[in-house]
Chain A
Amino acid sequence: MEELKQELKAKIIDQLNLEDINVEDINDNDPLFGDGLGLDSIDALELIVMLDKDYGIKLTDPKEGRAIFESIDVMAKYISEHRSK
């Protein structure tokens, strides 16, 4: 699980072009949207594509993302339970 969390942090930084942010700067429980990393709705779409492409998880309802992308912790738990890749 720890490895997956680190992988997710690196992917988020890379795919969302989070300049000046390192893996160490993201805490497992930090909110990804709003006051935390400050991600927005376009980032949510990017993350939905990432779940599909890298982990084989298809989110049919984008609203599901709101709960799944709450933090790295929640995201990693959801991926480990639902991944097909």
Chain B
Amino acid sequence: MKPVYIHSVASISAQNTVDETAFLDDLVFYEDNVLPAIDPNYKDFIPPAAARRMAKGIKMGVVASKLALNQAGIDKPDAIITGTGLGCLRDSEKFVSAILDNNEQFLTPTPFIQSTHNTVGGQIALELQCKGYNFTYVHASVSFESALLDAELQLKNNEATNILVGGVDELGDHTTELFKLIELIKTEKVSSKALLESQTKGVVYSEGANFFLLTNEKDEKCYAELIDTAIFNTLKKDNLPTAVETFLNSNKLNPEHVDLLICGHNGDVEHDDYYEVLTSGIFSDTQQAFYKHLSGEFHTASGFGFWLANKILKTQTLPEAVKLNHVKNSEFGYVLLYNQYLGENHSFTLLRKC
């Protein structure tokens, strides 16, 4: 089995994350319940003729993938693996609205073509003329981890050398309204700085694209080593400590080996207690961090967590804004990410310093 390294990282999010040399230096704090991602200048990356048919999610995915590939110095990866929870929402909404508004007549092709979940992976491949393995995982809040797991297995088994892996989701106006109506999104505006104190149902919703170039060939530019990924569609709170210990044991580790636990707290009073099982339990003496007060919640927000973990391991610094407790470590060797959404689709991702 070959090791797996993260060669490059790229993020487009509600924070200023496009500049690869910066690391949450210029934080944006919001007072809202929906956070649109900060747009880079798409024209710098995508020709206007191609961009005119792309909704924001596609543009974010294409640009984040380009940033990751450029940073790694790879022109064409062996495979492109994408994760998305809700796919190309804006074009889906446009297409379905047109069906309703025009009584199932006068349907135009563009939103239909662009509304499929694999549009982002397809557009990246088209532009790179990459005819290799191209797969899109759509599996709610483990969509990104599903893509990551696929890449990990291919690289460990030496079936590929360089794989582009990413997660992307976009906001759609109609879906956002529906999510507010059913209180998946908080009814009140919340300060980024006080997300965990909100004590209300629902989340602060957002969008973003996080792409990574994974390889089984180490070089000095690598951010971290991906040790393992595990996905659980259902997992009871009571079984969480055993599940994480089994995961760590299978990698010949114990909770004491973990230098930093990064959790996906999203301020939802009904489901953040899953994280507290670990933060107040077997990891109570471990340094802890969280990030969704910066990135917002969306089905592939854990991609932002993965970006954060890689940055921490490479720079060996933990930004003040993401600290969850007062435990301090002088060095970050192993970082464990735990994420779930609505108490379902749990994931553990384990990284090690290179």
Contact = CB atoms under 8 A, between A and B. Distances in A.
Contact of A45 (B51, B52, B53, B109): B109
B110 A53 contact: no
A53 B109 contact: no
B113 interface: yes
A40 to B, nearest CB: 9
B108 interface: yes
A18 B106 CA distance: 20
The 6 closest A-B pairs by CB, nearest first: A17-B52, A53-B106, A45-B109, A49-B108, A46-B108, A49-B106
A37 to B, nearest CB: 10
B102 A53 contact: yes
Interface in A33-58: 38, 42, 45-46, 49, 52-53
A69 B106 CA distance: 18
B52 A18 contact: yes
A2 interface: no
B51 A42 contact: no
A17 B111 CA distance: 12
A46 B48 CA distance: 18
A64 interface: no
Contact of B49 (A38, A45, A49, A52): A38
Contact of A20 (B48, B110, B113): B48
B107 interface: yes
Interface string B35-50: 0000000000000110
Contacts, number: 27
Interface string B89-117: 00000000000001001111110010000
Nearest to B49: A38
Nearest to B106: A53
A16 interface: yes
Interface of A: 15-20, 38, 42, 45-46, 49, 52-53
A42 B110 contact: yes
19 contacts: A16-B52, A17-B53, A18-B52, A19-B51, A19-B52, A20-B48, A38-B49, A42-B53, A42-B110, A45-B108, A46-B108, A46-B109, A46-B110, A49-B106, A49-B107, A49-B108, A52-B106, A53-B102, A53-B105
A38 B53 CA distance: 14
Given A19-B48, A52-B106, A53-B102, 7 more contacts: A17-B52, A19-B51, A19-B52, A38-B49, A42-B110, A45-B108, A46-B108
Contacts of A42: 53, 109-110, 113
- The CB with the most chain A CB atoms within 10 A, among B51, B102, B107, B110, is that of B110
Nearest to B52: A17
Contacts of B113: 42
B128 to A, nearest CB: 20
B131 to A, nearest CB: 22
Nearest to B53: A17
Nearest to A16: B52
Contacts of B51: 19
Contacts of B105: 52-53
Interface string B249-262: 00000000000000
